[in-house]
Amino acid sequence: MLYFLRGSLPWQNLPGKNKDEKYKNIKKKKLETSLDTLCKGYPIEFKEYMEYCRSLKFEEDPDYKYCVSLFDKCIKKANLDSKTLDFTWKQNRLSKDKEALKMSMRDVIQKKPKLDK
Protein backbone atom coordinates (compact mmCIF):
# COMPACT_ATOMS: atom_id res chain seq x y z
CA MET A 1 0.00 0.00 0.00
CA LEU A 2 2.79 2.38 0.85
CA TYR A 3 4.49 1.56 -2.43
CA PHE A 4 1.38 2.63 -4.34
CA LEU A 5 1.00 5.80 -2.28
CA ARG A 6 4.65 6.80 -2.32
CA GLY A 7 5.45 5.63 -5.83
CA SER A 8 8.58 3.87 -4.63
CA LEU A 9 10.22 2.45 -1.53
CA PRO A 10 13.58 3.55 -0.09
CA TRP A 11 15.23 0.19 -0.81
CA GLN A 12 14.27 -0.01 -4.46
CA ASN A 13 16.93 0.00 -7.16
CA LEU A 14 19.85 -0.21 -4.77
CA PRO A 15 23.10 -1.16 -6.52
CA GLY A 16 25.27 -4.17 -5.87
CA LYS A 17 28.23 -5.84 -7.55
CA ASN A 18 26.25 -9.07 -7.57
CA LYS A 19 22.90 -10.45 -6.48
CA ASP A 20 24.04 -11.24 -2.93
CA GLU A 21 25.45 -7.74 -2.40
CA LYS A 22 22.31 -6.14 -3.80
CA TYR A 23 20.09 -8.16 -1.44
CA LYS A 24 22.41 -7.33 1.45
CA ASN A 25 22.06 -3.61 0.64
CA ILE A 26 18.26 -3.95 0.43
CA LYS A 27 18.12 -5.71 3.79
CA LYS A 28 20.35 -3.05 5.36
CA LYS A 29 18.19 -0.21 4.00
CA LYS A 30 14.98 -1.90 5.20
CA LEU A 31 16.44 -2.23 8.72
CA GLU A 32 17.68 1.37 8.70
CA THR A 33 14.36 2.84 7.50
CA SER A 34 12.17 3.62 10.49
CA LEU A 35 8.42 3.25 10.29
CA ASP A 36 8.18 6.95 11.13
CA THR A 37 10.16 7.73 7.98
CA LEU A 38 8.39 5.15 5.83
CA CYS A 39 4.89 6.27 6.87
CA LYS A 40 5.57 10.01 7.14
CA GLY A 41 2.77 12.08 5.66
CA TYR A 42 0.23 9.25 5.76
CA PRO A 43 -2.45 8.46 8.33
CA ILE A 44 -1.19 6.96 11.61
CA GLU A 45 -3.07 3.76 10.82
CA PHE A 46 -0.44 2.88 8.20
CA LYS A 47 2.28 2.93 10.84
CA GLU A 48 0.07 0.99 13.26
CA TYR A 49 -0.53 -1.62 10.57
CA MET A 50 3.19 -1.95 9.86
CA GLU A 51 4.00 -2.20 13.57
CA TYR A 52 1.39 -4.92 13.94
CA CYS A 53 2.75 -6.86 10.95
CA ARG A 54 6.29 -6.63 12.26
CA SER A 55 5.18 -7.90 15.66
CA LEU A 56 3.72 -11.13 14.23
CA LYS A 57 5.62 -14.34 14.77
CA PHE A 58 6.29 -16.40 11.63
CA GLU A 59 3.76 -19.10 12.55
CA GLU A 60 1.18 -16.68 13.96
CA ASP A 61 -2.09 -16.06 12.10
CA PRO A 62 -2.82 -12.36 11.57
CA ASP A 63 -5.90 -10.82 13.14
CA TYR A 64 -7.51 -9.77 9.88
CA LYS A 65 -10.42 -8.08 11.60
CA TYR A 66 -7.96 -5.84 13.44
CA CYS A 67 -6.11 -5.02 10.21
CA VAL A 68 -9.33 -4.12 8.40
CA SER A 69 -10.50 -2.08 11.42
CA LEU A 70 -7.38 0.09 11.18
CA PHE A 71 -8.21 1.11 7.64
CA ASP A 72 -11.93 1.41 8.37
CA LYS A 73 -10.96 3.88 11.09
CA CYS A 74 -8.77 5.73 8.61
CA ILE A 75 -11.61 5.92 6.07
CA LYS A 76 -14.06 7.21 8.68
CA LYS A 77 -11.60 9.86 9.91
CA ALA A 78 -11.37 11.12 6.33
CA ASN A 79 -15.19 11.26 6.12
CA LEU A 80 -15.25 8.74 3.27
CA ASP A 81 -17.76 5.97 2.68
CA SER A 82 -16.03 2.74 1.70
CA LYS A 83 -19.22 1.43 0.11
CA THR A 84 -19.41 4.25 -2.44
CA LEU A 85 -15.77 4.85 -3.32
CA ASP A 86 -14.85 4.61 -6.99
CA PHE A 87 -11.97 2.18 -7.07
CA THR A 88 -10.79 2.83 -10.61
CA TRP A 89 -7.99 0.31 -10.13
CA LYS A 90 -10.67 -2.40 -10.27
CA GLN A 91 -11.54 -1.47 -13.83
CA ASN A 92 -9.96 -3.51 -16.56
CA ARG A 93 -7.43 -1.22 -18.20
CA LEU A 94 -7.33 -3.26 -21.38
CA SER A 95 -11.08 -2.96 -21.95
CA LYS A 96 -10.88 0.81 -21.39
CA ASP A 97 -8.04 1.07 -23.93
CA LYS A 98 -9.92 -1.03 -26.46
CA GLU A 99 -13.04 1.12 -26.05
CA ALA A 100 -11.00 4.31 -26.53
CA LEU A 101 -9.42 2.88 -29.69
CA LYS A 102 -12.84 1.87 -31.01
CA MET A 103 -14.19 5.39 -30.41
CA SER A 104 -11.16 6.94 -32.14
CA MET A 105 -11.61 4.70 -35.14
CA ARG A 106 -15.30 5.55 -35.32
CA ASP A 107 -14.43 9.27 -35.29
CA VAL A 108 -11.90 8.78 -38.09
CA ILE A 109 -14.38 6.80 -40.21
CA GLN A 110 -17.15 9.34 -39.72
CA LYS A 111 -14.85 12.24 -40.71
CA LYS A 112 -13.38 10.38 -43.68
CA PRO A 113 -12.96 12.81 -46.61
CA LYS A 114 -14.66 11.87 -49.88
CA LEU A 115 -12.23 10.94 -52.61
CA ASP A 116 -12.64 12.51 -56.07
CA LYS A 117 -12.70 10.10 -58.95
HEC profile of the chain: CHHHHHCCCCCCCCCCCCHHHHHHHHHHHHHHCCHHHHCCCCCHHHHHHHHHHHHCCCCCCCCHHHHHHHHHHHHHHCCCCCCCCCCHHHCCHHHHHHHHHHHHHHHHHHCCCCCCC
Q: For the whole prediction, is pTM greater than 0.85? A: no
Mean pLDDT for the stretch of residues 17-46: 94
Mean pLDDT for the stretch of residues 76-98: 68
Please give the pLDDT value at position 115: 58
97 or 50: which leads in pLDDT: 50
Q: Is the pLDDT of residue 56 over 80?
A: yes
Please give the pLDDT value at position 86: 58
Please give the pLDDT value at position 91: 59
What does the domain layout of the chain look like in residue ranges?
A: 2-85
Please give the pLDDT value at position 33: 95
Q: Is the pLDDT of residue 37 over 90?
A: yes
Instruction: State which CATH number among 1.10.10.10, 3.40.50.720, 1.10.510.10, 1.50.10.20 fits the domain covering 2-85.
Output: 1.10.510.10
User: Percent of the chain at pLDDT above 70?
Assistant: 83
